[in-house]
Amino acid sequence: MALLKKWSIPPLAALLLLLSIVPTGSKVVDSMSQCAEFLLNETPPNVPGILEGGNILDQNRYKPICQTFLDIRRFVTLYDTKNKIPVFSASKYIGTNSVRPAAIWKIEPQLENIGNNDNMKLSWKINYRKQASKKNYANQGFDKGHLFPSSYASSEDDKKSTFTLTNIVPQNGPFNKGRWSKMESCIKCVMDEYCIDSNNIKEGFLVIGAQPGNNIISNNINVPSMLWSAFCCYSKHEKGWISSAHWGPNIPDGEEYLQTKTLEELEWELSIVSPGFKVFPGSQCPLNKPVTQFYPELNAGNIQCKCPLNREEERNAPQPPCKENSGWIPASIAAGIGIGILGAFLAVSKKCRDTAAGLCGGSRQTYTGGPSNQLFITTHSQQQV
């Protein structure tokens, strides 16, 4: 019998070997049809001059990427290797049950050489020929802004897959953390509540894109002039399809909220640069009906929704239940804040807060004279209980 020889592998070498054999990345493909499971009716957007009828017109410049992590496809991106930003990312929303992971940024090796391994790898070089690196964003004054957001991805691994620089654009920080973030929260609430089909399965389809601008940062990475987002789903609750759209200029200043628009309005806006742009071509997505009617109730039920309301909707929005707190305080403290203790009277203070963001809208205090050295205060405040 032959003797078996024992091999000893140093720990670092073992780790590198493990990383080399575990698939953790993305794959560049020839056609959007190879990643069709993330597209409504397996049909990609129509982007004139770039992607028409499902065909990529310049296949040397525009590359479809099936964004794959741990051997599972998570979403799809159409990537512009000249501007080094995505044209759009698209995915299916099925709900989420995990928290945002640490940001570990990766790149797509096959964009540099199609013969490279199709696994994502960490971004470590200063510059790449056909895509951005993590170092390109350093000290440039922009956030690394997701198109398909981590908050929409379902599992922890799904969320990790969004931290690829092929899903990222240079985004103004106040825009990213303010108006855009609120929009993402609002639409997530809509999809969680209303994108449930006749089989009680949560399913919505998203396309999120960027329009190239006239400015660049390090390594000739284009700074988008505008970002846009759209969703569509079948709603059992509404007995039909629902959709809406948003867009906003990639600038630091602006209104507190992005206004919700219809699909038709978004397509008009995008057609200024690309006449004939269609987000969900050949679908039953309503072109002229947004989802703003859901916002008041969503905001009242969840302070994280942050959907924009107009003044009439704010006045008519349902309020969370009122919680009452009461107790005695020493007269000396009452006197210190200018409240007398003779007789009984009512003092009302209005503390207006942002009802558009789903917060409760005010509080009042009733002050009633009691024993000679105390005052009874009842505080009525509307808050989530």
Of 17 and 145, which is predicted with more confidence? 145
With a cut of 60, say whether residue 304 has pLDDT above it: yes
Q: What is the mean pLDDT of residues 379-385?
A: 39
On whether both 285 and 335 belong to a single domain, the answer is no
28: domain CATH number is 3.40.570.10
What is the DSSP code string of 127-150? --SSS--GGGGTTSS-EEEESS-G
Q: Is 16 part of a structural domain of the chain?
A: no
The model's confidence at residue 126, banded by pLDDT at 50, 70 and 90, is confident
Residues 252 and 357 placed together within one structural domain of the fold: no
Q: What is the pLDDT of residue 46?
A: 98
Mark whether 144 and 282 lie in a shared domain.
yes
Q: Is the domain of 111 the same as that of 246? A: yes
Mean pLDDT to the nearest integer, 229-242: 98
Q: Specify if 281 maps to a domain.
A: yes
Taking Cα atoms as reference points, which of 105, 138, 149 lies closest to residue 123? Answer: 105
241 and 338 co-located in one domain = no
**Which of 123-137, 215-229, 356-370 is the most confident on average?**
215-229
Q: Does 74 share its domain with 130?
A: yes
User: What pLDDT does 119 receive?
Assistant: 53
Which of helix, strand or coil describes residue 303? coil
pLDDT of 13: 42
Asked if residue 246 is part of any domain, the answer here is: yes
Residue 246: CB partners within 8 Å, gap ≥ 6? 183, 187, 228, 229, 230, 258, 259, 260, 261, 266
Average pLDDT over residues 256-265: 97
Shared domain check, 123 and 269 = yes
First to last CA, the chain: 74
pLDDT (tens digit, 9 = 90+) per residue, 312-358? 555 555 655 544 444 444 544 444 444 443 333 333 333 333 333 33
Shared domain check, 352 and 240: no
In-domain check, residue 57:
yes
Confidence band, pLDDT 50/70/90 cuts, at residue 284: very high
120, 269: one domain: yes
310 or 279, higher pLDDT: 279
Q: Which pLDDT value is given to residue 311?
A: 57
Among residues 313, 333, 351, the one where a domain terminates is 313
Please state the rounded mean pLDDT for residues 86-101.
93
Which of 167, 149, 194 shows the shortest CA–CA distance to 293? 194
pLDDT of residue 17: 38
Name the percent of the chain lying above pLDDT 70: 70
The overall average pLDDT reported for the chain is: 80
pLDDT number for residue 316 = 59
Last residue of a domain, one of 270, 293, 313: 313
Residues 74 and 166 in one domain: yes
Q: Which range of residues forms the domain containing residue 279?
A: 21-313
The predicted structure's pLDDT at residue 150: 96
What's the number of domains the chain is made of?
Answer: 2
The whole model's pTM is what?
0.76
Give pLDDT, residue 317.
59
Task: Give the per-residue pLDDT at 127.
Answer: 85
Could you tell me the two tokens for 43?
């049909």
Identity of residue 201: I
Q: What percent of the chain has pLDDT over 90?
A: 62
Residue 4 forms part of a structural domain: no
Residue 6 located in a structural domain: no
Q: Each residue of 68-89: b (16+ CB within 10 Å) or e?
A: bbeeebbbbbbbbbebbbbbbb
Segment 167-208, tens digit of pLDDT = 999 999 999 999 999 999 999 999 999 999 999 999 999 999
Separation of alpha carbons 245 and 264, rounded Å = 9
Instruction: Read off the pLDDT of each residue in 64-86 and give the average, rounded to a whole number.
Output: 93
Does the structure show a pLDDT above 80 at 145?
Answer: yes
Is the same domain home to 344 and 257? no
**236 lies in a domain?**
yes
Tokens representing 38 are: 């993330």
Domain edge (last residue) among 313, 345, 372 = 313
- DSSP structure string for 37-52: GGSGGG---BBTTTEE
Residue given tokens 């799809």 in the structure block: 76
Do both 282 and 342 map to the same domain?
Answer: no
Q: Tell me, what DSSP letter sits at residue 158? A: H
